């Protein structure tokens, strides 16, 4: 089964399950207020972290270095803010984990390690073995 289709079905099912379980424990109104509170707090914290990442990116540019980590970190913060805006507890937990710098660094290191391993394999096989023979034609000498 396609993993994207599985996520589209599985994530709402998990969120509905958590809504029912948490709502039965703390009440419907409190659950709704908690969802709005996590969205508002998360978006403001995402804004704060985004501005810090932007400042760090400008500092890297002023040192004549490419702000690669800052750009990827900014994209991760934007994704985390989106997860926090989506109503649900599982997406909120994942969003908060991505927004906090310590856990975001762990996620990004894991993400980069996959690409570094692929890059090593591609560099190892990045050659073509072959032979050549230098052929001289009389037509080449005229030019």
**Domain membership flag for residue 10:** no
Contact 28, 100 (CB under 8 A): no
**Domain membership flag for residue 48:** yes
Give the domain extent around 101: 38-125
**Domain membership flag for residue 90:** yes
- pLDDT single digits (tens) 75-120: 999 999 999 998 899 999 999 999 998 999 998 888 888 777 665 6
**Domain membership flag for residue 67:** yes
- Cα 118 to Cα 120: distance, rounded to the nearest angstrom: 5
Task: Name the residue with tokens 């500092």.
Answer: 59
- pLDDT single digits (tens) 21-63: 999 999 999 999 999 999 999 989 999 999 999 999 999 999 9
For 24-88, give the DSSP string: HHH-HHHHHHHHHHHHHHHHHHHHHHHHHHHHHHHHHHHTT---HHHHHHHHHHHHHHHHHHSS-
- Cα 77 to Cα 115: distance, rounded to the nearest angstrom: 20
**Domain membership flag for residue 59:** yes
Q: What is the number of structural domains in the chain?
A: 1
pTM recorded for the entire structure: 0.73
């Amino acid at each position: 089964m396609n993993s994207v289709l599985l996520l589209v079905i599985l994530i709402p099912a998990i969120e509905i399950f958590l809504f029912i379980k948490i709502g039965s424990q703390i009440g419907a109104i409190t659950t709704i207020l908690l969802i709005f509170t996590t969205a508002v707090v998360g978006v403001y914290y995402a804004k704060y972290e985004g501005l810090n990442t932007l400042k760090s990116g400008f500092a890297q540019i002023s040192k004549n270095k490419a702000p690669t980590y800052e750009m990827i970190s900014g994209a991760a913060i934007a994704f985390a803010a989106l997860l926090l805006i989506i109503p649900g507890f599982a997406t909120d937990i994942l969003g908060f984990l991505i927004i906090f710098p310590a856990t975001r660094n762990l996620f990004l290191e894991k993400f980069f390690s996959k690409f570094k391993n692929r890059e090593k394999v591609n560099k190892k096989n990045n050659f073509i073995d072959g032979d050549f023979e230098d052929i001289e034609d009389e037509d080449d000498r005229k030019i």
